[in-house]
A and B are shown apart, each in its own frame.
Chain A
């Protein structure tokens, strides 16, 4: 039995685990990009000499160790340097802090570096929600616009969680988009070089189709041979499953789920707005204004139950409280004059992520 303290919470566990694993399993989110819960950390993978993106051959320095994304840095009391939570074992008596301001700053610095070559208008544009991503009212150049993954993008939510400074320049990499098979597409302009796909291919799929080279300090991912077939790809799409960005895209979303792919643990997204959830109680409802807005009901911190727009937040929530007497709900709300359209936006986001309506919104549909 090992006992550690993470953010002043005592946690005990059996066996050998990394700090990141312990934290995630106990509901403490530490940002992580190169690490995926279903895979080992790509840290200490060694670069190849050459990779291919379609026909294009890319050479780089071989045998350089991958350093990791650095987003999971944490502080251990008594240690001068921050350590990577994904590759440091949690040891008896460790006192770990995951969210101090120097750590947050370091994470921001690393993230900002990545954002310089990854389009991020999706996180900065005021009109991004409710936008159809076809025509850009803000005149953003096409290559810098929101990509297809909007709203369901792990990298986007990590970046929003970590935060970054204003007006970070974006330069388009203008690399090749490889579209050579009916199952998935590779748009390397969106690749952040986290190497999850490399690990997935080697560990989960038992293949070795994907590799990476290092060129002037930049990680460049590609296949080990010009075509997927020659690279030994078996099209299990494990790499697509774990990609945190829009770089690897399913051509038929939801249709091609191999056994291997289905077996991969889902990624852990950062907690989003449910930080300030309140208990649905008369006491808490006194703080809610009697204005137009959208409220959300939660069954526990992670399970969104219902999204509803209303012209009177407090009254509607009081009604919910009465109707749901006996069961415990959490809620949050936002004031919005245009509550019907805000409600639709939130439902749209939910549908995109979960493929169905929130259970509470679905209740009526089940009547038929």
Chain B
């Protein structure tokens, strides 16, 4: 019963606030348009650097990160980013690993056999049939972040599809400390997808929309995805504007995540990787709660794990050469 009462509680807390927001005429848009659209879908893509000729590279290494929600493949040419593919993980991990890899190879003129060494990582890392080695995602994320943001990175927060990892590392990208939440989807990408679907807002727009409020409403009282869903439904019923709902949800999420990061301690430089890093609403609120800015980069935040794996592949290949 308590759960059902909670939306009520939220309304009581911010009745005045809703009134103010409603009067601005930003009412919830619940039109039927695009009713078949899958709002949780984010953009899958592949990319390769057209200016590079992979055939000239001495070492081609690749990393494949099979996560619970998304899979990435990264190809490095002599330690430089050459090709990337980022897509959803299907129901079958060997298949998604293959698909991601093939997609990354697409248009490069390379074949799988041309890659000298491949490392698998992520939740499905042992389901990458063509990988030479598997390396834990903890090490890969730290390594990837070290590459993406430079050696000043000390705290890496990976907001993954179904878990949340906080990794502390040294200037060489070596893991020193690690904390993880995997028992609960609150504060993870999957949680955000559920809310996107419920509110019928494309997931890529959530961040910006959630920031379109003058001041943050009280955070949703329960970040548990199931309870939050109930609460959000209650708010929809009350005609709470969608941006306010999103603001309330993202700040609840950021609050929760901030608490976990603080546990491990935030040492600068701080970076966020994973899909949620693309959500400005969460990132900006998180930065506010933690009192630190996260570094930004042009490289896709989602590929950190695969990138780290590719870097591992490179050194492991070099090591295997030395042995021979």
Contact = CB atoms under 8 A, between A and B. Distances in A.
Tell whether A and B belong to one assembly: yes
Interface of A: 127, 130-135, 137, 148, 253, 309-311, 340-341, 343-345, 347-348, 351-352, 355-357, 361-362, 364-368
Contacts of B246: none
Given A347-B138, A351-B175, A131 B123 contact: no
Given A347-B138, A364-B316, A365-B139, A131 B181 contact: yes
Contacts of B256: 134-135
A348 B315 contact: no
Interface string B133-166: 0011111000100000000000000000001100
Given A351-B175, A357-B175, A368 B143 contact: yes
Given A133-B263, A340-B123, A368-B172, A351 B178 contact: yes
Contact of A367 (B126, B164, B182, B315): B315
9 contacts: A130-B183, A132-B179, A135-B223, A340-B125, A344-B136, A348-B179, A351-B176, A365-B175, A368-B143
B178 A347 contact: yes
B213 interface: no
B223 A132 contact: no
Given A361-B136, A366-B174, 19 more contacts: A127-B183, A130-B183, A132-B164, A132-B183, A132-B260, A134-B181, A135-B223, A341-B123, A345-B180, A347-B138, A348-B178, A352-B177, A365-B172, A365-B173, A367-B312, A367-B319, A368-B143, A368-B172, A368-B315
Interface residues of B, number: 40
A241 B260 CA distance: 24
B123 to A, nearest CB: 5
B183 A131 contact: yes
Contacts of B126: 309-311, 340
A323 to B, nearest CB: 12
B121 to A, nearest CB: 10
B307 interface: no
A344 B182 contact: yes
A365 B174 contact: yes
B186 interface: yes
A341 B182 CA distance: 8
A137 B316 contact: no
B259 interface: yes
B175 A344 contact: no
A356 B174 CA distance: 9
Contacts, number: 95
Contacts of B265: 253
A74 B174 CA distance: 45
A341 B265 CA distance: 22
A340 B136 CA distance: 8
B125 A132 contact: no
B81 interface: no
Nearest to A310: B126
A347 B141 CA distance: 15
A55 B130 CA distance: 66
Contacts of A367: 312, 315-316, 319
Nearest to A344: B180
A310 B256 CA distance: 32
B195 to A, nearest CB: 17
| Top 8 A-B residue pairs of the complex, sorted by shortest distance between their CB atoms | A132-B181, A367-B315, A311-B126, A365-B174, A134-B259, A351-B178, A132-B260, A130-B183
A356 B177 CA distance: 7
A47 B259 CA distance: 40
A131 B49 CA distance: 41
Given A135-B256, A310-B126, A367-B319, A130 B180 contact: yes
A366 B125 CA distance: 21
Contacts of B316: 364, 367
A120 B311 CA distance: 43
Nearest to B259: A134
A355 B174 CA distance: 12
B224 interface: yes
Nearest to A132: B181
Nearest to A343: B136
Interface in B258-288: 259-260, 263, 265
A230 to B, nearest CB: 32
Interface in B161-210: 163-164, 172-184, 186
Contact of B177 (A134, A309, A344, A351): A351
Contacts of A361: 136, 139
Contacts of B182: 130, 341, 344
B184 A132 contact: yes
B179 A364 contact: no
Contacts of A134: 181, 256, 259-260, 263
Contacts of B181: 130-132, 134
A347 B311 CA distance: 21
A357 B223 CA distance: 32
A85 B315 CA distance: 53
Contacts of B175: 351, 356-357, 365
Nearest to B140: A364
In the complex, which of the residues B123, B182, B256 has the most CB atoms of chain A within 10 Å of its own CB atom?
B182
